[in-house]
């Protein structure tokens, strides 16, 4: 019985050399381009088992890239959720922004919560930290340890120092300043959204390539089975 062989020439500029594969003994034209994987050295006269092993390796590479893109999409979803929570907190203070230190504290707390939900080395977490610090500097916000009410009696009389929450806002936002603060955070949200959309297109492309690869392998397997069956019938005659 004749062994089925597959001739797969190296294809310059295309990631998977199955772009011009021909199954010599079965007549299968596997000329469907499959981008996404680098084949390395040229391969010739591959047996069915060797070809299927090779295809399995290439599918594994594509699957790895799909997994990477899916992980990236999940991360960007967390990033976007964190940033949008900050933006909502800032917008809740109105167009003029916080007028008291306590109101500013709610904004700072929103930043802190969002930063804490992301990895410390996350680039979005670093950008949120920078925006929070810029905001507190611009508006003169500071938070010290709270102090209780203190009553002192001296020869001159009794004096009471009121309790303090330790919060201070020396330069409340005015004019269009607060809008600029909100827009700065909103721009970060837009950047994450744009990156996620590009990543989704890449993911869809990888899924399409995988489907092409699976279809090609399925076709080769079917033709191989038919060739073996035909060979067995020829021996029996």
Is residue 166, in this structure, part of any structural domain at all? yes
The band of 97, judged by pLDDT with boundaries at 50, 70 and 90, is very high
Is residue 47, in this structure, part of any structural domain at all? yes
pTM listed for this prediction: 0.61
Q: What is the pLDDT of residues 117-146, one digit of tens each?
A: 999 899 999 999 999 999 999 999 998 877
pLDDT at 10 over 50: no
User: What integer best gives the mean pLDDT of the chain?
Assistant: 76
Structure tokens of 67? Answer: 């997994």
Count of the separate structural domains present in the chain:
1
Is residue 199, in this structure, part of any structural domain at all? yes
Is residue 1, in this structure, part of any structural domain at all? no
Count Cβ neighbours within 10 Å for each residue of 180-209 and write b for 16 or more, e otherwise: ebbebbbebbeebeeebeebeeebeebeeb
Among 77-91, 127-141, 181-195, the minimum mean pLDDT is found in: 181-195
Range of the domain at 197: 6-236
* Backbone region of residue 175 per phi and psi (left: phi > 0; alpha: psi in -120 to 50; beta: other values): left
Of the ranges 41-50, 147-156, 186-195, 205-214, the best mean pLDDT one: 186-195
Instruction: Give the burial class of 163: count Cβ atoms within 10 A of its Cβ; 0-12 exposed, 13-18 middle, 19 or more buried.
Output: exposed
Q: What is the pLDDT of residues 39-62, one digit of tens each?
A: 443 444 566 677 777 777 777 888
- pLDDT for 48: 64
- pLDDT for 46: 60
């Amino acid at each position: 019985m004749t062994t089925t062989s597959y001739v797969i020439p190296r294809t310059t500029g295309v990631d998977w050399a199955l772009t011009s594969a021909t199954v010599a003994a079965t007549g299968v034209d596997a000329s469907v381009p499959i981008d996404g994987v680098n084949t390395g050295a040229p391969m010739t006269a591959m047996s069915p088992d060797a070809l299927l092993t090779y295809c399995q390796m290439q599918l594994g590479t594509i699957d790895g890239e799909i997994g990477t893109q899916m992980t990236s999409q999940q991360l960007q979803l967390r990033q976007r959720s964190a940033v949008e929570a900050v933006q909502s907190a800032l917008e809740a203070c109105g167009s003029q922004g916080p007028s008291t230190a306590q109101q500013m504290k709610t904004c700072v707390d929103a930043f802190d919560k969002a930063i804490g939900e992301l990895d410390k080395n996350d680039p979005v977490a670093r950008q949120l930290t920078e925006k929070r610090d810029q905001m507190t500097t611009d508006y003169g916000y500071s938070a010290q340890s709270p102090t209780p009410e203190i009553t002192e009696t001296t020869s001159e009389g009794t004096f009471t120092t009121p309790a303090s929450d330790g919060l201070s806002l020396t330069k409340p936002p005015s004019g269009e300043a607060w809008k600029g603060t909100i827009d700065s955070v909103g721009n970060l949200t837009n950047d994450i959204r744009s990156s996620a959309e590009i990543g989704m297109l890449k993911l869809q492309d990888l899924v399409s390539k995988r489907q092409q690869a699976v279809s090609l392998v399925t076709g080769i397997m079917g033709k191989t089975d038919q060739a073996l069956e035909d060979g067995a019938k020829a021996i029996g005659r």
